[in-house]
Amino acid sequence: MVKDIASVWPGVKALLSEAVTRDGSTMTLDALADELLSGRKQLWVGASGARGIEAVLVTEIIQHSAVRALVMVLCIGVDRGRWLSHLDAVVAFARENHCGILRALSRPGWRRDLAKIGFRHRHDILEMAL
């Protein structure tokens, strides 16, 4: 998890901008930056020396009445097979913060890959643009 958001912002801004402008996003880039800087959301960056930044993940801790959840609200990157296994750090963070579940808000294409690391499909979210 990135503690100093400002230090990586130039490198992740384009990827995050692409993610928040996708159909269905409920965030703006400016609001997301504010939530990251305030600590309400967390930023995770996957990078390699040769390839640079390969993935960006945004999480948020939500306290429900019955359970605390770490929600993966936004994830974008390339070649996810290279970095998906590194979600163990996210799982550890969730446990350290007393979360009982890790939830991913994702497009259908993620279902198969997330199932490989222990996620189960529980619900579908259907939307209607108004």
72 with 57: CB under 8 angstroms? yes
Percent of the chain's residues with pLDDT above 70 = 95
Q: Which CATH superfamily is domain 5-115 in?
A: Gcn5-related N-acetyltransferase (GNAT) (3.40.630.30)
Domain boundaries, the chain: 5-115
Mean pLDDT confidence for 51-77: 90
Q: Report pLDDT digits (tens) over 107-122.
A: 777 788 788 878 888 8
Buried b (16+ CB within 10 A) or exposed e, 14-38: ebbeebbeeeeeebeeeebbebbee
pTM: 0.84
Residue 129 pLDDT more than 70?
no
Q: Report pLDDT digits (tens) over 20-40.
A: 887 667 889 999 999 999 999
Q: Residue 101's pLDDT is what?
A: 93
